[in-house]
A and B are shown apart, each in its own frame.
Chain A
């Protein structure tokens, strides 16, 4: 067991090294000179000032040296300062915005599971009947609707037509309280949840179909337990491991996948900041957020993988 964990951690380190290196190199390839961006007109006219600032930012060092310096700082939580909004630390921005993205992703997963489990269970229980065919068709459609389309339709229905919920103006829990916050969070979270719901319910359905053919279900039936009890207490339990794994992986992907929905609903999360940074060419912010999201994604995937092999001995052996 310890050997497996050690091997996985080693691979995690190697992947993280590669991922941070690629992110670093990509931001190096971004057009525009950071020193010019900071100094503006002064820099273009004053060659000396420009060289001085480049030296201060470490831009005159060879790229591998820059990478090592940057990595050393990043590990200690220093991702530099925004070139556009001077004095704003990138790590501080991430710290401020990450909770919003995290909340959205968590809410999306919860909504998705609340919908997916009953849909998947009904599909398996009524396998091949109209309930199954209808839900499978619905799931296939849900899989094919991009989340920004879902988002706009939700805005049109609930914000424009019915005027029940706001389309933007995110309320922070700390400012306006939980209820006001949920009012602004429910539409974007639902838009994100739809695709997840489709993915989860497919898994629940196919897992359940296999489980329902097992002997212990037959014996539960023979004992005269009600169908509902068997479905939700007996049959669902073996599927929980694979669902939990998928939830973990998709949660990691959602942290990077909220970008579009955050932009659509003008939510002050990581993704919206990333898009702003891209349009302003705010290099260190792009770099910081990309590395942060990619690192989180890689770590979550490794942890999920590890848990899965700890919990399920069949996988450990193969």
Chain B
């Protein structure tokens, strides 16, 4: 597709030649699975930085959750919902915070319109994005990945019916369907939003998995397994699914970027997880009435959102190319 692709392809040919030379004497070895550290070393610098950012977001979200749920705010991160200028009954004094402060050592990214710490809210907001991306990927990979692999392998009427059902869901403009679905729920908790987005993620994954499964099911090792009378279910789980999985998993990153934007949009419209829970989208929404006074309160959560989406897209693209390249070596 691009010049970069063409380059990696030409490199891959020389790479793949190595096992082919050995073909005469020893059986062809499957390419060894690289450890995460080896994969990381292979990455170009931009992809490395993106990966580091994603790990930071991931770690930050977990850290914030452990802090509030398990350790009762004992770790050094401020309470995301504490209005720092509030009267504190324990000390009998007002807090030292001010609304719309700019960055300082006490509040790294300043405070919002009601004097809550922006940095703490961004770190806590990462949890919502993380859960949305994980649940959507979980539903997509498990349900979509399974059905896609199944129908691409067995074909026939099962395939026609399944894909027709998926096409109906994909026939809706995504955001409109999502809006209609979330408005059904009177209480919009993180669980509800994650489940709805997860459910709506299934069709796209099914398509990806089906395409992979159609190709894999034609391969020699599947034909060979059929020829020696292996049970179809065993072929599906032993041969087809393991070979479809890398493609589906690398799709999960790009899809994760998409659902994080979708949740951000929903939050921005005030139709996602309810306040005061911090999400990047609702932080942007709450601060946007105040652009003249404190643009920073829109800027920082926007940066967190854009960097995360950009990183997921870049790493996902890179992994997809790598998976395709590996697939051709198989």
Partner of B3, one of A15, A128, A155, A253: A128
Question: Given A144-B257, A144-B306, A146-B305, is A19 in contact with B175 using a C-beta cutoff of 8 Å?
Answer: no
Interface string of A135-157 (1 = CB under 8 A from B): 01000110111101100110110
A146 to B301, CA, bound (A): 12
Interface presence of B86 (CB below 8 A): no
What are the residues of chain A within 8 A of B305 when measuring CB–CB?
Answer: 146, 149
Which B-chain residue is minimally distant from A258 (CB atoms)?
A: B175
Q: State the Cβ distance, A304 to closest chain B Cβ, in Å.
A: 13
Interface pair A148/B168, CB less than 8 Å apart: no
Interface presence of A306 (CB below 8 A): no
Interface range on chain A (Cβ under 8 Å from partner): 35 or more
Partner of B313, one of A144, A252, A298: A144
Q: State the Cβ distance, B300 to closest chain A Cβ, in Å.
A: 12
Interface string of B170-193 (1 = CB under 8 A from A): 011111110111011010000000
A160 to B293, CA, bound (A): 10
Q: Considering the complex, which residues of chain B in the window 275-325 have a beta carbon less than 8 Å from any beta carbon of chain A?
A: 281, 284, 288, 291-292, 295, 298, 302, 305-306, 309-310, 313-314
Q: State the Cβ distance, A141 to closest chain B Cβ, in Å.
A: 6
Interface pair A148/B284, CB less than 8 Å apart: yes
Interface pair A274/B268, CB less than 8 Å apart: no
Interface string of A14-27 (1 = CB under 8 A from B): 01001100110011
Q: Considering the complex, which residues of chain A in the window 187-225 have a beta carbon less than 8 Å from any beta carbon of chain B?
A: 205-206, 209
Name 9 extra pairs, CB < 8 A, besides A143-B313, A146-B265, A156-B291: A127-B3, A136-B2, A141-B306, A152-B302, A156-B295, A160-B292, A209-B3, A274-B179, A278-B183
What are the residues of chain B within 8 A of A275 when measuring CB–CB?
Answer: 179, 269, 271
Please list the residues of chain A having a beta carbon within 8 angstroms of any beta carbon in chain B.
15, 18-19, 22-23, 26-27, 29-31, 127-128, 132, 136, 140-141, 143-146, 148-149, 152-153, 155-156, 160, 205-206, 209, 252-253, 255-257, 259-260, 263-264, 274-275, 278-279, 281, 286, 290, 293-294, 297-298, 301
Interface pair A294/B172, CB less than 8 Å apart: yes
Interface presence of B167 (CB below 8 A): yes
A70 to B268, CA, bound (A): 33
Q: State the Cβ distance, B280 to closest chain A Cβ, in Å.
A: 10
What are the residues of chain A within 8 A of B172 when measuring CB–CB?
Answer: 19, 22, 294, 297
Question: Given A128-B3, A293-B176, A294-B176, is A144 in contact with B171 using a C-beta cutoff of 8 Å?
Answer: no
What are the residues of chain A within 8 A of B168 when measuring CB–CB?
Answer: 15, 18-19, 22
Question: Given A132-B3, A136-B2, A275-B269, is A253 in contact with B186 using a C-beta cutoff of 8 Å?
Answer: no
What are the residues of chain B within 8 A of A297 when measuring CB–CB?
Answer: 171-173
Interface pair B309/A205, CB less than 8 Å apart: no
What are the residues of chain B within 8 A of A144 when measuring CB–CB?
Answer: 257, 306, 309-310, 313
Interface string of B120-151 (1 = CB under 8 A from A): 00000000000000000000000000000000
Interface pair A29/B184, CB less than 8 Å apart: yes
Interface pair B184/A145, CB less than 8 Å apart: no
Which B-chain residue is minimally distant from A145 (CB atoms)?
A: B306
Interface pair A156/B313, CB less than 8 Å apart: no
Interface pair B306/A209, CB less than 8 Å apart: no
| Residue among B172, B176, B271, B310 with the highest chain A CB neighbour number at 10 A | B176
What are the residues of chain B within 8 A of A155 when measuring CB–CB?
Answer: 288, 291
Interface string of B251-272 (1 = CB under 8 A from A): 0000001000100110011110
Interface pair A206/B1, CB less than 8 Å apart: yes
Q: State the Cβ distance, B267 to closest chain A Cβ, in Å.
A: 10
A263 to B270, CA, bound (A): 11
What are the residues of chain A within 8 A of B314 when measuring CB–CB?
Answer: 140
